[in-house]
Amino acid sequence: MRNESVAVLDIRSYEVTFLIGAKGVNGTFVFRGSKSENYEGYSSEGFLDEASFRRAVISAVTSVRQSYEGTIREIYVGAPAAFTQVYTKGHTISFPSRRKITSQEIDALYDSGLADLLAPGRFVRRSDMYFALGDNRKYFDASDLYGIPTASLKGALCYYFVSDAFSEAVDSVLKELGFEKVEIIPQSLAQAYYLLPEKTREGYAFFLDVGFLSTSVSVVYGNGIVHEESFDCGAGYILVSLMRELGVDYETAEEILSSANVSGGAVSKDLMWTDGSGAAYSVREINDIIKYGLDELCESVDKFFEKYYRDKSTMGFAANPISVTGEGIGLIRGAAEHISKRLCRVTQIVCPDLPYYDKPVFSSRIAVLATALGDRTKSGFFNRIFNIFGGKK
């Protein structure tokens, strides 16, 4: 692989995307190749058809390889929230005497905290909500600690694990395709870090990723995820409801959903949507079906907040907006507005600030690419040498 490029496999609940990209100028990216393939998807129980997943991955990778001049040995995989478990831990280590903090002390804190965990699955990543020294001042960037003398180091730490079934399915097909090293990146963490400004993440930030068959809600603090859950709900379930309630085929349901808009108020009962053959369907009924599907999604989000934040009813906490992204939001016009009304919370659609890719459907693949490129930079030779001597300061 060319040193400046990375290979990424982004896994969504109805589509996989393989791409090779590099850093461009001013926060942009240069794409060496990209291909998406549909498959049967996954639910909270796992892949619906692992053979379908394998075929989609093989097809996408093979298609890009045919036009890419280079050797690809390493790949970064975006793991959906449905396969990811986050464990948080407040942890402290002490030193025999005061010492200046370097990257080695940060690593020791993480390693010590991980050693105490008895978690199932494959450990894939770590991050922090914040660090603190003896005065309990919060540091959201580990490098801000470098050079400060202290006798103890504290951290609100996050550890990310993926299920063995997911890890084995991914490793199996990618090793078969010749990849020697497979790095897994939690999708939600990558999106939160890439799409949400640093200042937003220094308070409780709420992130809702609406997919096709699966939706996840995350609470982000600093560079970590505090709580996260996923549930079987998304645009695909709404399409099935349209097919069932209106008696239409899948293609017609897709046309109806793409042309609908549920952000407005009441619709006249006489307003009709007409397909190419002249068949007419009530717009009011269409909107009611879509809103009902979105209401089911909102009920799951409501239960999530009730479960973890029943007692955190301060005005500041409740006023924090929900950042919404994912293909489900892109497919349904007015979905964010309806969710806002239903949850009584401000919503804001977030997506990459890039030409052509400035749509929610591209959020996860671009975020995973950005994270992978960041990892590649951190693992570079000069950066490793730099960290041996303590990093910054």
Q: Measuring CA to CA, which residue among 196, 242, 165, 212 is closest to residue 370?
A: 196
- pTM metric for this prediction: 0.93
Q: Where in the chain is the domain with CATH 3.30.420.40?
A: 5-82+164-193+362-381, 197-349
Strand blocks (E) in 187-328: 205-210, 215-221, 224-231, 272-274, 280-282, 322-325
pLDDT of 317 reads: 65
pLDDT of 320 reads: 85
Strands 84-100 and 149-162: antiparallel
pLDDT of 377 reads: 84
CATH number of 5-82+164-193+362-381: 3.30.420.40
CATH C-level class of 197-349:
alpha beta
pLDDT of 140 reads: 95
Determine whether 239 is exposed, middle or buried from the number of CB atoms within 10 Å of its CB (0-12, 13-18, 19+): buried
Tokens of 77: 């995989």
Q: What contacts 155, CB < 8 A, 6 or more positions away?
A: 90, 91, 92, 109, 110, 113, 128, 130, 131, 132
Q: What angle do CA 390, 24, 391 make, to 5 degrees?
A: 5
pLDDT of 393 reads: 39
Tokens of 58: 């093989």
pLDDT of 203 reads: 86
pLDDT of 242 reads: 97
Q: What residues of the chain score a pLDDT lower than 50?
A: 1-2, 315, 381-388, 392-393
Determine whether 355 is exposed, middle or buried from the number of CB atoms within 10 Å of its CB (0-12, 13-18, 19+): exposed
Q: Where in the chain is the domain with CATH 3.30.1490.110?
A: 84-163
The topology under which CATH files domain 84-163 is Dna Ligase; domain 1 (3.30.1490)
